[in-house]
Structure 1
Amino acid sequence: MTTETLSPAISAAELTQDIQIFEYSKAANPIDSGATPRIPIKTFSADSYATGRSRVIELDLSADLKVPYPATGPSLLASFVRIVKGDSLTTTCVASSEFFYVIRGSGFSEVTVDGELKSIAWSEGDFVALPGLEARHTAEQDTAFYMVNDSPLFAYLGAEKGRSRFAPTLYKRDVVLAELIEAQNDPEAATRSRISVLLANKNFEQTMTITHVLWTMFGVALPNSRQLPHRHQSVALDFVVDAQPGAYTLLGEELDNTGNIKNPLRVDWVKGSAFVTPPGWWHEHVNASAHNAYVMPIQDAGLHTYLRTLDIQFYEED
């Protein structure tokens, strides 16, 4: 006969100290009740990274979201990165996906892949996707990035990264622009909600996205044009690549019966700035200037698409 030693029992007080039970109607929609904060519309100026030392400037809305970690949305953190010519700067995050767009400058990033240190050369207008790796970025010219990762999702889940889901990937500016010009010249372009291209990775054929979490669009609003409203349940962290005065986004929670956004809020496009589009809000892009305007939204739509919760809807004129 063997005697097994039982582990110490968890006390009843410990087991019950955190329980709550709500009547259904009081907890079924915690966003409307205010328990879950709404996503604010926020803008972030290019002035924040125009000058000064090499640094990461987090676009942190954690106070609005009531979370104890940096976040721009529930699952994404956006940052501006400035690196002075000749400097190196290391970025690291507990995340599965990281993306950066080279606003200006040139240089290279060093990452360790399968135990080997490797280098990625980049220049202005390039796009880089990393699977949550520590990276040392060296600037050969004064450099700025727009960077987004999914570290808030990991913080919320209490998770750590396991294996990488994809390899470091570089999308060169000229290749992306050529695809965008082809989309712009398509005879059907005028009938579409957006004139844009989506950056994708062949490892994620179900979601057709740049990573399994992140979604990256590069789009153009033509002179004197209106791109009709649409909405989706992913948060958009929009970066204005280039624009002249007169380009802007209108946002609102409802449409009227003519397809116009009711009581819209206007966010003007300023080159090098960023803004947040909340989930579920209708938004349309208008370019009343005489020049092309370019915008790059980054979203957690890869995750939403996989979960079948994106719920993207387009207004179409009769």
Structure 2
Amino acid sequence: MAVDTKFKVGDYVRARPDFLAELDDDRHEPMAEHFGGKIISLDPAEGYALISLDADSLAHFTADDVRQMDEEGLDPYQYAFGLDQLVPAPRRDTEATYRAAVARIEQLLDEQLAETEEEYEATFQRHKQETLDAFATYLRQSGAEEDDFSQQVGSIELFMDMAFNYADVTTPEEYTPYAVEEVMLDVMPRKLSANRDYYVRLADTCVTYLDWLGQSGRLRDAPKVLRAARAAAKKLPARAMDPSRWGISKTLMMGMQDEGIDPTDRQQLDAYITRYNAGLDLPRHTATPPPSPPPHERFSYGRNDRITVEYEDGSRKENTKFKYVEKDLREGRCRVVG
């Protein structure tokens, strides 16, 4: 039901002092009486407004508050209110005090991110070693020859590292069709320099590994993941040999292979890079311009990079972190405007 209000985007407001009993958010209840800031979007029809919290509001967030919001994917810089929960108020901060408050929250988030990344890395390394040991045992029991056995284990360690670094896969249970496709059809073709036979073996090994994960109960939604892996395995060799899909490092490496340059010979390497940078002798692989990046690669922002997005209804989220709007961006519900 529409709320009769004269609020507009850009107005400064504060939480109505007597509205706390109406809140369902236990975490914010004790501090909500301090909330205030600028309206950055509103929906009179639904009776809600999104507030960019001011410095006084941000000052009440503790490290534990910031940690919990970050874990839940909430934006600590904004808060949604019912329009009937707000009253007009003068601005309480300045640009300088607001920037200082934001810097404090950023520091808390960075500390949380560092701790989280350490935990992720430790969890990944533990699960990686356990999984590789179990996979190696499976290969031995399957009668794999020693050379082939060592190569397969090494290939899967590479696959696991790429899945962790580029698709945030920490444990085998986290593999999804999307993650498998991203690693096999984007990361590997872009990063790995090898011949076609290598990619054929690599593709087969990835399928063997994921099939084993499924059979041993380590893979969630195994049928869908395996279908994606088998489809990707058929495409990987051709895609990995397509120069338009190579990154700069791979383009350089493949060009050096074509010219018979020894990358350990500093003189040859420096001369080749000089020619490459000058554009005088570019490898023939660069003749085909790269295609537009796939939809999942349109965004080059880091998880904590700040952006402003606009939604189809005209509402905005200003100065928000990419991770808070990533899903909406990937699904086309909003666009980056700053």
Give the TM-score, by structure 2 length: 0.21
Structure with the larger helix share: 2
**Comparing both chains, which one has the higher relative contact order based on Cα–Cα distances under 8 Å and sequence gaps of 6 or more?**
1
Give the TM-score, by structure 1 length: 0.22
Structure with the larger strand share: 1
